[in-house]
């Protein structure tokens, strides 16, 4: 069984990873689903009170991606396991093989998302019905949404990073016709072999973010936000 908790105005689902994934499986097709895999940086962006804040609270529910969110919920008396975004995506891809879900990938560079699509199709024996790069401006969104809907996809994975991916889904939520939508950050780059996932040691310690910073030094600009998150956490501030 999963639990539900309102983190400020972010609807959270929590529990064991197996229970959370079973809950997601059960919800597909009942209503349009928008899942957010929430981590500390996303939460700090949410606290700024901007369009991204509205986007996160609009989602069907968020699940705890990062160890920071697990610790934040624990401070509130809630025990939960992590559901890292790429693992959640893999679970949904495994479901797609069983249930013949159609899949659309949106994000990354054209060559990268194309390579990811080929690898995912072979790895999971699924039907990728379309893909599109993530480097377009807002004036092109209507055409991108049309392409997604024309593909009659069931699952839409958006790998455009934060805040862009959630903002895209937020602006187009009513028009998009997929059964399930989820932001997946840099997962396409991992599948395509452009970047590597953190070694298991970092994953088990919940330090994938640290590994990514060393692999991609530009991410260090986010370090102050992470520092602030943990300072607030240990001071019992939201």
The answer to whether the CB of 39 falls within 8 A of the CB of 66 is yes
Residue-wise pLDDT tens for the chain (238 aa)?
Answer: 899 999 999 999 999 999 999 999 999 999 999 999 999 989 999 999 898 999 999 999 999 998 899 999 999 999 999 999 999 999 999 999 999 999 999 999 999 999 999 999 999 999 999 999 999 999 999 999 999 999 999 999 999 988 999 999 999 999 999 999 999 998 999 999 887 665 665 566 566 665 566 566 556 566 666 778 778 787 776 6
**Residue 163, preceding bond cis, omega within 30 degrees?**
yes
As a whole number of angstroms, the distance between CA 134 and CA 144 comes to 10
Residue from 68, 65, 90, 80 nearest 4 by CA? 80
Contact call for residues 144 and 136 (beta carbons, < 8 A): yes
Of 3.40.50, 2.40.128, 1.10.860, 3.30.450, the CATH number of 3-185 is 3.40.50
| Whole-number Å distance between alpha carbons of 184 and 88 | 9
Domain residue ranges of the chain, discontinuous segments joined by +? 3-185
């Amino acid at each position: 069984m999963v639990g539900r908790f309102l983190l400020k105005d972010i609807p959270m689902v929590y529990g064991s990873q197996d229970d959370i994934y079973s809950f997601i499986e059960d919800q597909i097709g009942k209503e349009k689903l928008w899942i957010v895999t929430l981590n500390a940086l996303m939460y700090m962006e949410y606290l700024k009170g901007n369009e991204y804040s509205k986007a996160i609270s609009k989602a069907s529910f968020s699940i705890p991606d990062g160890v920071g969110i697990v610790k934040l919920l624990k401070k509130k008396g809630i025990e939960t396991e992590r559901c890292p975004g790429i693992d959640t995506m893999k679970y949904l891809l495994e479901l797609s093989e069983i249930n013949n879900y159609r899949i659309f990938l949106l994000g990354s560079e054209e060559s990268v998302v194309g390579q990811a699509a080929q690898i995912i199709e072979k790895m999971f024996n699924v039907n990728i019905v379309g893909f599109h790069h993530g480097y377009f401006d807002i004036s092109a969104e209507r055409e991108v949404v049309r392409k997604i809907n024309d593909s009659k996809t069931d699952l839409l994975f958006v790998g455009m990073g934060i805040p862009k991916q959630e903002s895209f889904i937020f602006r187009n939520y009513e028009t998009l016709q997929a059964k399930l939508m989820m932001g997946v950050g840099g997962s396409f780059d991992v599948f395509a072999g452009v970047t590597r996932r953190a070694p298991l040691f970092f994953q088990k310690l919940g330090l994938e973010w640290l590994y990514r910073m060393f692999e991609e030094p530009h991410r260090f600009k986010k370090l102050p936000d992470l520092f602030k998150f943990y300072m607030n956490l240990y001071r019992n501030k939201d």
